[in-house]
């Protein structure tokens, strides 16, 4: 029986296995998600862009060269994702590729971070990835498709003042590894993408984050490089076409995998040295949502019509 999925691992693949397929990208309004949607569209893929910012999504979708739809949806809202999945199937066809890319970050000491903001990072980055898989796995099973979880080098070692983000990315990696074993018999392949410094709006807040600033400063020159979203999207698209279990952006990250046990003590030592040199006011200034995308999500979440309005300032600071 002929399926609409991309060719299974190890099988004969056409020159462009993504031509005519349907791909879903969450967090597609900006950054890596938008760049990946553009790259996939240029490869002849019909793309569904999912995200939180309707106007920005509309603009991103309008710029794509191929057939597409955009759906404003919160990945923490299972009903919204189920509705998005039905729309994708009806308007584009069943998804062959789903990329769980939606993510936000918040920095600052754990005890000073708004509890609702801390949980929101976990909900978007980890629970949102699981919700995305749950909504689209029926289609991926039909197409014998590919699910790509966007993780981070934050899964390699946790950085102080980034507890929610690091916990969520480590959790997302573990979720994808567990899911892989469950769905492989159904012909669905699960990949994990590890991203390093990437030039999204999230990274623009890097200089305000003392520990991340110090960690990057201490890395060798090749590891300090910030990679443009278009470059990262190209690597992700190549991994998708190959149905890769692991995608590394940049590629040299693959050589870090066997060294992962060494990273936590090294990062802890550098972070402790940096934190001891900081004044209390500097620690407080690093608290809050990072990046325009994260702020847009937090503003929507804490708006009067949102699911929750914590008794905190709307910029995510804990006071």
* Catalytic positions, written as ranges: 165
Q: Two tokens at 290?
A: 């990072």
**What DSSP state is assigned to residue 13?**
-
Strand partners, 46: 22
Sign of CA dihedral 86, 91, 95, 99: negative
Q: Two tokens at 60?
A: 């991103």
Q: How far apart (Å, rounded) are the C-alpha atoms in residues 74 and 59?
A: 18
Q: Provide φ and ψ at 21, rounded to 5°.
A: -80, 170
Please give the helix or strand (H or E) that residue 176 lies within, else none: helix 163-183
Report the interhelical angle of 115-122 vs 163-183 (nearest 10°): 30
First-to-last CA distance in the chain? 60
**Which residue reads 């995200």 in tokens?**
51
Q: How far apart (Å, rounded) are the C-alpha atoms in residues 49 and 37?
A: 7
Q: Two tokens at 25?
A: 């990208």
Q: How far apart (Å, rounded) are the C-alpha atoms in residues 317 and 313?
A: 6
**What DSSP state is assigned to residue 308?**
-
Cβ–Cβ < 8 Å for 129, 172 = yes
């Amino acid at each position: 029986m002929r399926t609409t999925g991309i060719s299974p691992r190890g099988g004969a693949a056409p020159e462009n296995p993504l031509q005519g397929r349907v791909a879903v990208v969450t967090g597609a309004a900006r950054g890596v998600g938008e760049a990946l949607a553009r790259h996939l569209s240029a490869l002849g893929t019909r793309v569904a862009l999912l995200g939180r910012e309707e106007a920005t999504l509309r603009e991103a979708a309008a710029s794509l060269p191929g057939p597409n739809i955009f759906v404003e949806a919160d990945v923490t809202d299972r009903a919204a994702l189920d509705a998005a999945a039905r729309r994708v199937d009806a308007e584009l066809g069943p998804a062959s590729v789903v990329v769980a890319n939606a993510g936000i970050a918040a920095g600052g000491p754990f005890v000073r971070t708004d509890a609702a903001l801390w949980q929101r990072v976990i909900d978007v980055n980890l629970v949102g990835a699981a919700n995305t898989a749950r909504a689209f796995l029926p289609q991926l099973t039909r197409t014998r498709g590919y699910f790509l979880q966007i993780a981070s080098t934050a899964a390699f070692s946790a950085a102080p003042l980034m507890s929610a983000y690091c916990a969520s990315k480590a959790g997302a990696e573990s979720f994808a590894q567990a899911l892989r074993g469950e769905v492989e018999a159904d012909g669905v392949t699960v990949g994990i993408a590890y991203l390093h410094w990437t030039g999204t709006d999230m990274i623009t807040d890097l200089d305000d984050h003392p520990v991340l600033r110090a960690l990057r400063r201490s890395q060798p020159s090749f590891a300090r490089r910030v990679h443009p979203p278009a470059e990262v999207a190209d690597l992700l698209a190549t991994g998708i076409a190959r149905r890769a279990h692991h995608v590394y952006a940049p590629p040299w990250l693959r050589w870090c995998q066997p060294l992962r046990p060494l990273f936590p003590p090294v990062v802890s030592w550098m972070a402790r040295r940096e934190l001891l040199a900081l004044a209390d006011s500097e620690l407080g200034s690093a608290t809050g949502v990072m990046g325009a995308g994260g702020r847009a999500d937090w503003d929507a979440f804490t708006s009067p019509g949102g699911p929750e309005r914590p008794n905190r300032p709307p910029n995510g600071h804990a006071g």
